[in-house]
């Protein structure tokens, strides 16, 4: 039987929005884009 939403952990006490997490996220995104042949996406959009 699969766990319910309340039984799934979502926090282990370590902040996820650290500088290290941001670097890892950027690396994952750029690697995925390069692998799939996407062009660079601008980080800022004006409007």
| Residue partners of 40: CB distance under 8 A and separation at least 6 | 33
Q: Provide the token pair at 16.
A: 């996820």
Place of tokens 């390069």: 34
- pLDDT (mean) for 10-34: 82
Q: Which residue has 């309340």 as its token pair?
A: 6
Give me the residue label for tokens 């980080």.
43
Q: Provide the 10 A C-beta neighbour count for residue 5.
A: 6
The 10s digit of each residue's pLDDT in 30-41 is: 888 888 887 655
* 16-32 mean pLDDT: 85
What does the pLDDT average to over 13-33?
83
What does the pLDDT average to over 4-9? Answer: 80
How many Cβ atoms from other residues are within 10 Å of residue 30's Cβ?
Answer: 13
What pLDDT, on the 0 to 100 scale, is given for residue 4? 86
> Does the predicted model carry a pTM greater than 0.75?
no
């Amino acid at each position: 039987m699969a766990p319910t939403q309340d039984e799934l952990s979502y926090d282990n006490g370590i902040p996820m929005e650290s500088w290290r997490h941001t670097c890892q996220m950027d690396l994952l995104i750029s690697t995925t884009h390069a692998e799939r042949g996407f062009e660079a996406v601008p980080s800022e959009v004006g409007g």
